Structure 1
C-alpha cells in the first residue's frame, strides 16, 4: 500500500511538469493551443515540518504535499480546471487523526497521507459582470471565518458546489453558493470523515459605501443524517463591516466588525440561539502594524455554542488550534498583534500576537497564548517559520508548536 501510494504520488506530481516543456514554454507560462485558447499548468509543492509538545504526548511530522493540474481557458471567459492533490509522509511520528493508523499515542498533526482529485470545475466569468462555477472547487468567503479552504493544512478543503457572483449591479455585489459536499482535510482514508454531505447554502449581499464595505450573509447548513456532523446543522445570519481610513501618508486606521446569530436548523434536535460578535481596530505606519481585537462565540448555558465547521479555523483563536471546536460554555478571545514588513529577502514579514481566552458563560479563564511568525522568500522558494505556545487554565493542556515550511509554485 505504501509503495503504491508513493508511485501514484510521483506520477501525479510529474504530470504537470511535462506540459510546459512540450510547448517549449517557460515553466508556469500559459501555452497557446489554439486561437483564443490557452493551457495553463498548475503546480504547487510544500515541504512541511511540524513539532508538537504536550505534557503526556508529543509529535514530529515531515510531509510533502503537491498539487498538479491544468487550466484550459478561452478568451470568451469560459475555463475548465482539473487538479490533483497528494500528500506523502516522510517522518510519521504523529497522529494523523485517521483511526487504525497505529500511531494514535502521538499528538495530533492533521496532515494524513492522501491522494485525491482536489478540484475539477467549469467556470464562466466576465469582468465587472460576475461569474458562475460548477464542480469541485475552492471557496474562501471574506476572512474565511465561516467558509474557507483550510489552506494551512496540507490537504485542502474543497466543496462540490455551484457558486455564482454578480458584480454588474455596482455598488451592490451578490454571492450565492449551493454545495452538496464538504470535502474535508482528513483525506481519502478517513472513512465517513472524508466528506460530509448535505444541502449547504451560502448567501451574501455587499455594498461599498465610501471607505466602508458592508455585507449581510446567511449560512444554512443541513447535513445528511448518520454522519459525524449530523447534529451540527445550523442557520447563521449576520452582517460584517470593514473600513480603512487614511490619516497621513503611509499611515491608516483599519476597522472591522461582525455580528451574527446562529440557531438550530432542519434535523438538529437541539433548540438554541447563540450570538457571534467580533471587532478589531488596527493601524499601519511605515511597514509597522498594530491590531487590537475581540471575538466572542456565544453559548446558551445549556451546552450549545456558536460553531463554524466550514471555516479556516487555524486563522482564529490562536495557532495552537486548541479551539477548533468552540467549548460548550462559549469562547471570548481578546488579542493584540503586531507586525513589521522589511525590504529584505523578497519581502520579509514578521508578526507576533497575544491572546487571552475565557468562556462566554461564567467568564472562566481558559488560558493565554503567544504566537509568532516569520515569512520570506529565497529566489523562487517561500520560507515560513511559525511558533505557538498555549498556557492552559481550566481547559485543555499546555501546548507548544513549531513549524517550518518550504514552498514552491507556478
Structure 2
C-alpha cells in the first residue's frame, strides 16, 4: 500500500512539472521461457533438463528539461510460480534498477550521478547486460563532455557495504573493508570516442580496485582500443584490450584481441571474425594472472549464446579462441539470425595423464528469430546447440555424446504510458 501511495504521489508531481519539461513514463514486461539441457556447461543423460519462465517487469520514470535529466526505474524479477498464489509478504525481488540525475553546465558538459548503466562500444568490457533479466548497474559519478564528433567520459566509483552499523561505520577498525563478493571496491576510468568518416575510434583506460582478504586493495588496469571503418563494400571492426596491475596481490598480464569483416551480399550480410581471449597454461606454475577477464561486459553477446564463456564461473582460466560466421535472413515478416562458432582453448591444457589436450573444444550453432508485432511488441524465438569435443568434456565434465541444447522464447511489451506535450 505504501509503495502504491508513493508512486501515485510521484505521478502527480511529474504531471505538474511536466508543464515545463518533458516527462515520460514507460513500462516493460518481458517473460522468457527456457529449456536448458547443456546450457553454460555440458550435461549428461542422468540429468533432467531445466524448464522455467523468468519475468522482468519494469517501470521507467524519465524527466528532462534544458538543465537536468533524471531517471528512476523500478524493477521486479521473478520465476513463474516461485511465490505462492496467496501470500502476505514478498521476498526482496522488487528493487530500484536505475536512479540517476544528470546536470548540464553547458550543452556539451554535464555530470551524472547515481545508479546507472555504463555501456560503451560493442559492450565487450563495459555493457548494460540487458539480456540478463536483472541487467548490470553501477553506483557511480560520471563527468561527460560531448561536442561534435568527439566524446570524453570520466567515471568514478567507491563502494562500501554496511557490515559495521552506525556510528561505528564511520570510524572503527575495519570499517573500510568491502565484503561484497565479485564486485570492485573502487574504479576510475576515461573513455574517449571520435567519429571518423564511415567509422569510429574509441580508447578506454580503466583502473579497478579489489578488496583483498588481508584488507589491502589490489589495482588492475585495463586498456582498450575499439575501432570500425567501412572500406567500399566491406565494414571492418576490431578491438584490443590489455590487462595489467595486480589481482589478489598477483601480477596480471592478459589480453583480448578480435577482428571481423562484414560483407553485404544480394541475399544477406556475412560477418566473418575471430577473437582471442588469453588463458593460463596448465603447466604454468607461477601465480601470475594471464587469463583475461571481460569484467563488466555484456558477455552473452560474444562467444555464443549458450554462455559457455565468461558468464558466471564457466571456463575458469582456460581462455578461448572463437572463430565465427554470422548472418541474417528476412523470414516470415521478421529476421532470422544465424551464428556458427568454432571454439578453441586460449591456452595449453593438459589431460589427467599429462598429455596436451587438443585445442578444439566444440562448435556452437545459434538461431534466433525476431519479429516486431503490433504496438511495438517484440517476439523472439531461439535455439542453440553445442557439438562438444573430448577436450570440452575433459575440461567441463558431462557427456559430449548427450544432446547439448538450449531453446527459448521471449516476448517484450514496452508501452509508453504517459508523455507530456
CA contact (8 A) 1:290 1:337 kept: yes
Instruction: Note if 1:145 corresponds to 2:124.
Output: yes
Segments of 4+ moved more than 4 angstroms = 125-128, 192-195, 230-233
Q: 1:215 to 1:72 in 2, by over 3 A?
A: closer
Give, in whole Å, the separation in 2 of the partners of 1:51 and 1:256: 34
Aligned residue pairs, count: 356
Structure 2 counterpart of 1:70: 61
Q: Which gives a bigger RCO, structure 1 or 2 (Cα 8 Å, sep 6+)?
A: 2
Instruction: Note if 1:58 corresponds to 2:63.
Output: no
TM-score between the two structures when normalised by the length of structure 2? 0.75
Instruction: Note if 1:407 corresponds to 2:412.
Output: yes
Structure 2 counterpart of 1:84: 74
Give, in whole Å, the separation in 1 of the partners of 2:192 and 2:294: 20
CA contact (8 A) 1:200 1:223 kept: no
Matches within 5 A, 1:3-152: 15=7, 19=11, 33-53=17-37, 54-55=43-44, 56-74=47-65, 76-91=66-81, 114-125=93-104, 129-152=108-131
Q: What 5-or-longer segments of structure 1 have no aligned partner?
A: 1-6, 24-29, 93-111, 184-191
Give, in whole Å, the separation in 1 of the partners of 2:80 and 2:51: 10
Indicate the SS of the match to 2:406: strand
Give, in whole Å, the separation in 1 of the partners of 2:236 and 2:386: 27
- Higher strand proportion, which one? 1
Structure 2 counterpart of 1:354: 340
Structure 1 counterpart of 2:308: 322
> CA offsets per residue over residues 328-367 of structure 1, 9 Å max, x none?
23210000011124682xxx12111111111122362211
Matches within 5 A, 1:353-392: 353-362=339-348, 364-380=359-375, 381-392=377-388
Q: 1:160 to 1:37 in 2, by over 3 A?
A: same
CA contact (8 A) 2:103 2:111 kept: yes
Structure 2 counterpart of 1:154: 133
Structure 1 counterpart of 2:325: 336
> CA offsets per residue over residues 158-181 of structure 1, 9 Å max, x none?
00001232122x443212211335
Q: What 5-or-longer segments of structure 2 have no aligned partner?
A: 38-42, 83-90, 162-178, 349-357, 417-421
CA contact (8 A) 2:212 2:218 kept: no
Give, in whole Å, the separation in 2 of the partners of 1:275 and 1:34: 49
User: Once superposed, what is the RMSD of the aligned Cα atoms?
Assistant: 3.4
Q: CA deviation at 1:45?
A: 1.0
Q: 1:358 to 1:145 in 2, by over 3 A?
A: same
Aligned match for 1:270, one of 236, 250, 268: 250
The structure number with the bigger radius of gyration is 2
Indicate the SS of the match to 2:80: strand
Q: 1:333 to 1:152 in 2, by over 3 A?
A: same
Q: CA deviation at 1:36?
A: 2.3
Matches within 5 A, 1:114-263: 114-125=93-104, 129-168=108-147, 170-181=148-159, 196-226=183-213, 234-245=220-231, 247=232, 252-263=233-244
